[in-house]
Structure 1
Amino acid sequence: MALFSLLIAIMVERLKLLPANWQFDFILSKYQQLFWKDKALDSAGWVAFVVLLPAVTLFLVLLLLDGFFYDLITLAIWMLVSILCFSHQTLRSSFKKYMLAACRGDVQACYHYAEKLDCSECLDAVDEKDLGQQIGKTVAWVNYRYYGAVALYLIFFGPVGAVLYCSIRFYEQYNQQQNLDMPFITKLLFLFDWLPSRVFSFGYVLSGHFAAGISQWRKQVFNPKNSAKNVVTFTALAAESIPESTSAPICVQPTLALLALSKRNFILLLTVLSVLTIFGLVS
Structure 2
Amino acid sequence: MMLISLLIALCIDRYYRRGKKGYLDYYLGAFNRYLIGKQLVQGKQQGHCKPADGDSLAAPDAVNPATTPQVMTEATQPANGPSAKVHTQPHQHSQAGYRSQLIVLLAPALLIGGTLLIADTVLFTFVVQTLVLTLALGMAGFRHTFRCFKDACKRGDTQAAYLYVSMLTQRQPAGESPDTCMAKAVLWLSYRYYATIIIIFAALGVPGVLIYCTARMLAGDDCHQQPVSLASRCLHIVDFIPVRITTLGFLLVGHFSRAAGAWLKGVGQISLSAQAYLIAVGQRAEELEQHKNTLCTDGAVQLAKRNMGLLVVASAVLTLTGVLI
| 2:218 matches 1:171 | yes
2:107 is the counterpart of 1:53: yes
- 1:183 Cα shift? 4.0
Counterpart for residue 139 of structure 1:
186
Q: TM-score, normalised by structure 2?
A: 0.77
Contact kept? 1:220, 1:231, Cα under 8 Å:
yes
Q: Partner of 1:150 in structure 2? A: 197
Counterpart-to-counterpart distance in 2, 1:174 and 1:220: 21
Q: Which structure has the bigger radius of gyration?
A: 2
Q: Are the aligned partners of 2:219 and 2:229 in contact in 1 as well (CA < 8 Å)?
A: no
**Distance change (3 Å), C-alpha of 1:140 and 1:182:** closer
Question: Residue 25 of structure 1 corresponds to which residue in structure 2?
Answer: 25
Q: CA RMSD in A?
A: 2.3
Return the alpha-carbon distance in structure 2 between the equivalents of residues 140 and 112 of structure 1.
18
Q: Secondary structure at the match of 2:141?
A: helix
Q: What is the CA-CA distance between 1:136 and the residue it aligns to?
A: 1.1
Q: In the alignment, what sits opposite 1:277?
A: 319
Letter in 1 for 2:198: A
Deviation for aligned residue 1:131: 2.5
Distance 1:258 1:182 in 2: 29
Partner of 1:255: 297
Q: How does 1:1-283 map to 2 (within 5 A)?
A: 1-37=1-37, 39=51, 40-41=55-56, 42=93, 43=96, 44-67=98-121, 71-119=122-170, 122-127=171-176, 130-173=177-220, 183-244=229-290, 254-283=296-325
Taking the aligned partners of 1:164 and 1:61, their CA distance within structure 2 comes to 16
CA contact (8 A) 2:169 2:222 kept: no
Given that 1:91 and 1:116 are in contact with CA atoms closer than 8 Å, whether structure 2 keeps it comes out as: no
1:16: Cα distance to partner? 2.8
SS at 1:223 equivalent: coil
Distance 2:114 2:18 in 1: 26
Aligned-partner SS, 1:93: helix
- In the TM superposition, what is the alpha-carbon distance from 1:66 to its structure 2 partner? 0.8
TM-score by length of 1: 0.88
User: Bigger relative contact order, structure 1 or 2, given CA contacts below 8 A and separation 6+?
Assistant: 1
Q: Distance in 2 between matches of 1:236 and 1:221?
A: 14
Partners of 1:18 and 1:87 within 8 A in 2: no
Unaligned runs of 5+ in 1: 247-251
Which runs of 5 or more residues in structure 2 are unaligned?
Answer: 40-50, 57-92
Contact 1:210 1:239 in 2 (8 A): yes
Contact 2:104 2:214 in 1 (8 A): no
CA contact (8 A) 1:55 1:163 kept: yes
Q: Which moved more, 1:19-28 or 1:34-43?
A: 34-43
Q: C-alpha distance in 2, partners of 1:182/1:34?
A: 23
Report the residue type matching 2:117 in the other structure. L
- Aligned amino acid, residue 281 of structure 1: V
